[in-house]
Structure 1
C-alpha cells in the first residue's frame, strides 16, 4: 500500500526523495517558493520517479498566502527572489510552468484525501548559530512563525500523521518569551494531533547513525491524529524506541567511503597569470557538479598545509586556538571562531551547511594534493544524495540547496519507520 503525501517547505526535495525511495509513498503535491529548488525538485520527480505532471504538482508559491495556496491563484507576475524578504513577504510570484495555479485543494480532492504531510520550515530562526549572529537573537524573525502555516495545512487536510523536521536549536528557541516547541506542541494539540511527550529525549536523531556520512543532528517530530488510537503516546514511544532504531546502520560511513572514488581535482598554479585566482583541473566524471571553485593562492597553500598536517600525523592545527592564530597570521584579521577545518577521511563529516555557498574553509578536502574545499557533488554525497540527483541552478544555488536539505538516506529510514506506524493506525 502506498500512502498519499504532501511535502511543505520542500526545498530541492531531499526529504521527499527519501520517502519516495522507501517505496511506501505517493507524491500528491509539494510547496516551495525558491525557484532553483522548485526546478530541481520538478526535474527529480520527472526523471527519477516518472511523475509527468510534476510541473503542476510542485507549486512555486509562498505558503503564507494560505487562501490562494488552498483554493488557487491567478497572478502571473515574476518568480520570487532567491532570498526571503525581511517582512516575510515576497514581492513577486510565478505560476506556470511551476504550479498551474489550481491550489492544494485541487490535488487533495483528486487524490481522495491524503495520509501524511512532511516538511520543516526554514531553520535559520531556530538554529543556535543563527541566533548568535542576529542582534536580536532572531526574536523578530518572521520565520519563527512559519510553522503556523504548516499547522494550517495539517488542520485543513487532516492527514493521519505528519513529520516535522528541524534543527535541535528549535528546543531552545523563543520568540516572545515562550519556547517555540511549546507553541508547536500546543498548536498541533489544538487541531487534534499529539507529538511525543518529551521531544528532547526522544525526537533528536543523528544522521550518521542511519548511514549518512555526516554528523548531523536533527529533530524528527512525528505527529499522530488523536482519534486514530486510544493511547497515542504508546505508539509514539514505540516509534522512537523500537521502530526507527531498526533502520540504523551497523557502522558509520566515513568521508573517504563517500567521496574517495571521485576523480581528483588539483590546482593549476604553473601559469603566473593564474596566481591571483587559482583554477583547477577538470577530469571527466560520471556525475554532475564535481568541479572545484577557484581559490586564491594563499588559500590553496593553507588548505594543503592543513590537510598535510592531519595526514602526516603532526596535528599541529587541530584545536581552535591554533586555527584562529593561523587565520590571524595568514589573513591579517582576528576571528572569534576558527575558520578552518579539514574533513577527516576516516570519520563522518561535520554538518554540511548552506554557508558553503560563500566559502568552504570549514570543509577542506582531506587530500593535500587537491588543496581545495569540497565540490558540490562531494557535499551532495556527504548528504547522501544519489549521483543521478541533479541540481538545477548556479553553483551558489546548488551549495545552498544541498546544505539546507534533509539527507535522503535519513529520510528513507524515517519514511520506512513511519509507514509501519501508518500500517497499524
Structure 2
C-alpha cells in the first residue's frame, strides 16, 4: 500500500479517487472547515472502514505549522496528535496530495477583488504545503489547482516561479512547462468541463531519473486513462426523479417552491426559487429544449433587466446544456444556482446538491454532512473523484517504473 497524506483535503474528492484503487492508505488528512472534516471522516469510516478517521482527519489550520506537526490543544480546534505522530506510526509516508484553496489564483477571483487578490493570504498557502513535503520527504506529491495559477502574480513575481523555486529548494522537480500539466476532467469521464493544473513533484534524491518520470507521466501514462466517450449532463443526472414546481402562495409563503421526490439518494432537494426566477428559468429552459436558442448573452442581459429592473454587466443565468458536459461546478453554488439551471422546462429550477455531486463524479453513496449550502460549497471546491482516480492509477504505474 502506498501511504498518503491529503492536505487541504476538503470533503475528500482526491482521497476518494485514490481510495477507489485499493492501493493507497490514507495516513492522515488536514482540513479546517468543519462540514468538510465531518464529511471526510464519515466517508472514511462508512465506506473505507477506517475506524480511527476521527483522529486521522485533522480539523486544524495548516498555517500553524509547529502545532500541525507536533500536536495541539486549542479552544477552536480541540485536541490533535499532529502529523508527526501518524507519520511515525506508519513508518513514514510515500506521497502527499492536495491543492491549496484556489480562490486567490482564479482569474474570476482576481477580477472581483479590488486589489486583484494581491493581499490574499491564500496566495501563499502553498508554502505550508511545501513545508509538509520538506518535513516528510515523500517520493512524489500531487498539487492540484486552477489554470489561473499560470497567470497569478500577487507581488509581481509569477506564482509559478515561486512554486517551482520553492520545491526546487527542497529537492523536488516539477515540469518546466506547467501548461503541459493542464487537464480537462471531461476527458477522464467526469460529466463536466473542468480545467485544472495537476502538478506532479518528484523527489530528486529518491528518483534519479526524475526528468523521464515527469515526461512519462504527462505524455504517456496519464493520457492513457482518458475516456473515449464524453459524458453529458443528461447522462449524468437525467435518471434522477423530477422535482416539480409549486405555483401557489401557500407553498411559497413557506419558502417551498418545488416538490421533494422520494429518492434513493440523499441531497436531491432543490433550493427555494421565487416565482419570478422560476419563470425566467422556464423561458430559458424552453429556449434550449425547443432548439430556438434566441437567448444569447445580450438577450439574457435584457431578460434580466426586464425581470429584475436593473442592469447587470454580466449575464447571470445559464441553463446546463443537456447533451454536453456541464460547465465548471463552482463553490459559488452555495450562494445561488442561477448559472446552473436544470435543462428540463417542466421543472423550472436550479440543480440540487446531488445533481452537482454527480456532475463532479461523486458516487451516489457519498454522503455530504452539513446543510445544503455546505454541500454545494464542498462539492464545488472538490477534485472530481474520477479525475483523482485516473491520477492515482497513473501514479501506480510510475511507482512500478521507479
For normalisation by structure 2, the TM-score amounts to: 0.98
1:308 partnered with 2:286: yes
Aligned length: 402
1:368 partnered with 2:351: no
1:340 partnered with 2:317: yes
Q: CA deviation at 1:396?
A: 1.1
Q: Do the aligned partners of 1:277 and 1:297 also contact (CA within 8 Å) in 2?
A: no
1:21 partnered with 2:20: yes
Structure 1 residues 14-42: Cα deviation after superposition (integer angstroms, max 9, x where no partner): 01111111222101000000000000000
Q: Secondary structure of the equivalent of 1:253?
A: coil
1:148 and 1:378 map into 2 onto residues whose CA distance is 35
Match of 1:259 in 2: 237
1:198 and 1:251 map into 2 onto residues whose CA distance is 28
1:66 partnered with 2:65: yes
1:212 partnered with 2:190: yes
More moved, 116-125 vs 66-75: 66-75
Question: RMSD between aligned alpha carbons?
Answer: 1.1
1:134 partnered with 2:120: no
The 5 Å alignment of 1:37-76 reads 37-75=36-74
Q: CA deviation at 1:419?
A: 1.5
2:175 and 2:396 map into 1 onto residues whose CA distance is 17
1:356 and 1:138 map into 2 onto residues whose CA distance is 21
Match of 2:87 in 1: 108
Q: Do the aligned partners of 1:269 and 1:278 also contact (CA within 8 Å) in 2?
A: no
Structure 1 residues 363-393: Cα deviation after superposition (integer angstroms, max 9, x where no partner): 0000000000000000000000000000011
2:207 and 2:48 map into 1 onto residues whose CA distance is 33
Q: Do the aligned partners of 1:356 and 1:400 also contact (CA within 8 Å) in 2?
A: yes
1:31 partnered with 2:25: no
1:94 partnered with 2:77: yes
Q: CA deviation at 1:277?
A: 4.6
The correspondence for 1:408, drawn from 385, 394, 401, is 385
1:296 and 1:276 map into 2 onto residues whose CA distance is 11
Q: CA deviation at 1:192?
A: 0.3
Q: Do the aligned partners of 2:29 and 2:57 also contact (CA within 8 Å) in 1?
A: yes
The correspondence for 2:142, drawn from 155, 163, 166, is 163
Describe the shift of the 1:107–1:273 C-alpha distance in structure 2 as closer, same or farther (beyond 3 A). Answer: closer
Match of 1:399 in 2: 376
1:236 partnered with 2:214: yes
Q: Do the aligned partners of 2:368 and 2:375 also contact (CA within 8 Å) in 1?
A: yes
Q: Secondary structure of the equivalent of 1:380?
A: helix
Unaligned runs of at least 5 residues, structure 1? 78-92
For normalisation by structure 1, the TM-score amounts to: 0.93
Q: Which runs of 4+ in 1 moved over 4 A?
A: 275-278
Q: CA deviation at 1:423?
A: 2.1
Match of 1:84 in 2: none
